Amino acid sequence: MNVCRHIQGLLIITMAAGFAQPFARAGDGPAAAAPAFGSLRGVTLDAGGQPLAMVSVGIRSIDGGTDRKVVSDGEGFFVADRLSPGPYRITATKEGLASPPATTVEIAPNQTASPYLVLAALKPAPAAAPAETPTVERELESMKERIAVLEAELKARPVVVAAASTAAPLPPAAPSPAAPSPGPAPNPAPQPATPPAHVPPEALEAPDATSGVDNFTPFAYGDFSWLNGNARNNPVLDTKFFTPEIRFDTHFMEDLNQPRDHSMGGATESFRSGEFQVEQISFGGDFHWQNVRGRVLTMFGLFATTTPRNDGSAGVGQWDARNAYKYVSEAWGGYHFNVSHGLNVDAGIFVSYIGLFSYYNFDNWTYQPSFVSSNTPWFFNGLRIQWFPTNKLKIEPWIINGWQSYNKFNGHRGLGGQILYRPKEWLSMVFNNYGNGTDTLGNPGRSRLHTDDSIEVRYFNKPDSTGITKMAFSFTADAGCEYGGGVTCHGGNGGPKQAFLGWMVYNRAWWGKDKFAVTLGGGQMNNPGRYLTLLPPINGADAISGSPYFTANAGDRAHMWDATANFQWMPKPYITWWAEAGYRHSDVPYWSGRGGITPPGGNTGAPGQYVCAAGGSAGTSDLAAAYAACGGPGSVWFPDLRRGQATFSAGVMVKF
């Protein structure tokens, strides 16, 4: 029964290994593609069915490209993971033993082949062989009989194998009267096997385990959880078909300007003052099966209304795209091609990478990012191609509707792309570029160019230290402009200068086994045309309505800077408690003051028109006409806007 014991052990190893390793999937920020691999989990035996250690097993791809050597352990088991699908030639050699004929095994995606290899003793010289000594052939025949008995036993047992072997076992021989089987007789009337209720289908089982350093999957060779914009934890649950993801983000913010309407503006993370608010509630995950990919992540909480209101493309034509997509953060499907280190082609809504910071606050070093991230896109709608020529490089073209737009603003769609390069575990560089899009509502002749480039460096790393464990910094620089349609990149006869120049820098230190971290940083934005300046929601204004109280006309400037200090406590990989203090400054009145940005009695009339101080809409966006309609000087309501904003905030974020 040694054969039975070892093949049962082989099955157990195959199933257990499948539950041990999270699936290497293609993620998105920045993403890495995981090709569909197979694996080998086999056993080497001697002619008597005993485990055979220290056997050299050769694994050579018939199609070329893979040639490995592994050695069986003390129990005769050998393992080879991350094998590209296709046929393989398996050989076994050990000094003093006769090698079996080469075995051909077909490796299928996401499956495990389980061959067993039998090595016989070298045939002794004829003169030294007693006549009654069994020959090697006789031993093999006896082993085949025992295997036949084992197969009958396995068929009679309610066992479900996680990943079926594609290797062809030695054909069983009929029992011979001259060589009775030493094993127990098979059940003469086996009952139909019923899988236990707790055994999941193959698609819902955990992926196969890998051992050692993964030098094939992009960016899997090192630990990049320290990066700003990268989630630091692995999925809690993973299967071969689905990897779930759940996020919660709750905070309390206090604007020291004390706006009486509790309304804050000019940011993508700061919305209400003096209140507990749920910023994000998201659930969904990644689907992956036989190279087909998909991802969906819902978006509830404040993000569900604050994100769509900054997209002006919904004002083009019919059908309400903002309401159609408002509860969706990411939704795309695609296919993974086994090219180089991976090639993904996906279509849908996906999170963009302009500005270094992730759109999801859990992934970031601070809660409120600087203007380079806060005022540049968070999502794209279109086609994304991810090619990984090496395990350290990603080249990602975009063919999209426009700059953070559900729809296409005018006649030209947006084109762009990202190059992500991580040559070392301590270094990451990303280069984003965008162009061609005509992304100004109602101005089809105005085009946009933008570049965003970042570097992150981990310059200190002592994981076992009782004090500081690591330190890192990030630096990001952005430059862009709009031209045509009455504006230029440089100013002059073609129209006012419509350009964007910004930077941000952050430094972070971890200590206490990476359970605590402090980040200091900030940045600056020079924008002489306000084309990337977020519109405060005065009287309910959004990117479509505009506001007469804070215009975005050519030549309207907005130069701003900010500084932030953030403390994080991370007792578990799935939760972050944080506290943050920050100050932001503008050279024009911009931030909510004590009087707030909501008219007396609430929002009144169209957001693009003035409001009368006594109540009611002035019915016009012209100030002189508004005075006439409301009753003369002093009769028009104005929001209380300030040049500075100091905030203190704290919260908790959870990600599974």
Mean pLDDT rounded to a whole number for the chain: 84
Task: Mark residue 65 as left, alpha or beta (left: phi above 0; alpha: psi -120 to 50; beta: remaining).
Answer: left
Please provide the distance, in angstroms rounded to a whole number, between the alpha carbons at the two ends of the chain. Answer: 45
Cα dihedral angle (395, 401, 406, 411), rounded to 10 degrees? 160
What is the chain's alpha carbon radius of gyration, rounded to the nearest angstrom? Answer: 32
CATH topology of domain 2-30+36-183: Immunoglobulin-like (2.60.40)
Q: How confident is the model at residue 617 (pLDDT cuts 50, 70, 90)?
A: very high
- Whether 15 has a pLDDT exceeding 50, the answer reads no
CB 97 within 8 A of CB 159: no
Note the pLDDT tens digit of each residue in 308-358.
Answer: 999 999 999 999 999 999 999 999 999 999 999 999 999 999 998 788 899
User: Where is average pLDDT lowest: 265-269, 457-461, 582-586?
Assistant: 265-269
Mean of the pLDDT values across residues 499-518?
96
d(C-alpha 533, C-alpha 547), whole Å: 13
Return the pLDDT at 349: 96
- Cβ burial of 639 (10 Å; 0-12, 13-18, 19+) is buried
d(C-alpha 68, C-alpha 83), whole Å: 10
> What pTM does this model have?
0.70
Domain boundaries, the chain: 2-30+36-183, 242-598+639-655
Mean of the pLDDT values across residues 486-511?
92
Please state, in angstroms and as integers, the Cα–Cα distance from residue 253 to each residue in 133, 273, 274, 535, 581, following that order: 87, 5, 6, 20, 10
- Whether 599 has a pLDDT exceeding 60, the answer reads yes
Of 602, 610, 606, nearest to 627 by C-alpha is: 610
Return the pLDDT at 124: 58
Note the pLDDT tens digit of each residue in 229-268.
Answer: 999 888 888 888 999 999 999 999 999 999 999 999 888 8
- Whether 169 has a pLDDT exceeding 50, the answer reads no
CATH topology of domain 242-598+639-655: Porin (2.40.160)
Instruction: Record the tokens describing residue 321, joined without a space.
Output: 């795209």
Q: State phi, psi for 102 to the nearest 5 degrees.
A: -60, 140
Return the pLDDT at 224: 93
Of 40, 39, 167, 165, nearest to 110 by C-alpha is: 39
Return the pLDDT at 521: 97
Q: How confident is the model at residue 494 (pLDDT cuts 50, 70, 90)?
A: confident
Mean of the pLDDT values across residues 208-226?
81
Mean of the pLDDT values across residues 160-175?
40
CB 422 within 8 A of CB 429: yes
Return the pLDDT at 144: 72
Return the pLDDT at 168: 38
Q: How confident is the model at residue 299 (pLDDT cuts 50, 70, 90)?
A: very high
- Whether 139 has a pLDDT exceeding 80, the answer reads no
Instruction: Record the tokens describing residue 86, joined without a space.
Output: 């296709």
Return the pLDDT at 39: 83
| 3-state class (DSSP) for residue 573 | coil
User: Where is average pLDDT lowest: 193-207, 306-320, 642-656?
Assistant: 193-207
- In degrees, rounded to 5, the angle at the alpha carbon of residue 245 between the alpha carbons of residues 513 and 209 is 70
Residue given tokens 């974020």 in the structure block: 653
For residues 74 and 117, which has the higher predicted lDDT (pLDDT)? 117
What are 516's strand-pairing partners?
511, 569
Please report which helix (H) or strand (E) contains residue 136, including its range.
helix 136-155
Please state, in angstroms and as integers, the Cα–Cα distance from residue 282 to each residue in 29, 135, 298, following that order: 16, 68, 5
Return the pLDDT at 482: 93
Of 5, 162, 146, 149, nearest to 75 by C-alpha is: 5
Q: Per the omega criterion (within 30 degrees of 0), is the bond before 30 cis? A: yes
Please state, in angstroms and as integers, the Cα–Cα distance from residue 419 to each residue in 335, 353, 393, 396, following that order: 20, 11, 7, 6
Q: How confident is the model at residue 198 (pLDDT cuts 50, 70, 90)?
A: low
CB 385 within 8 A of CB 401: no
Return the pLDDT at 378: 87
Percent of the residues in the chain that have a pLDDT greater than 70, as a whole number: 82
Note the pLDDT tens digit of each residue in 558-571.
Answer: 999 999 999 999 99
Buried-state track 382-408, b at ≥16 Cβ within 10 A, e below 16: bbbbbbbeebbbbebebbbbbbbbbbb
CB 474 within 8 A of CB 228: yes
Q: How confident is the model at residue 414 (pLDDT cuts 50, 70, 90)?
A: very high
Return the pLDDT at 48: 80
User: Where is average pLDDT lowest: 88-97, 436-445, 646-655?
Assistant: 88-97
- Whether 49 has a pLDDT exceeding 60, the answer reads yes
Length of the chain: 656
| 3-state class (DSSP) for residue 151 | helix
d(C-alpha 376, C-alpha 383), whole Å: 19
Contacts of 113 (CB under 8 A, 6+ apart): 38, 39, 40, 41, 42, 105, 106, 107, 165, 166, 167
CA 445 to the chain's CA centroid? 36
Return the pLDDT at 153: 61
Return the pLDDT at 167: 38
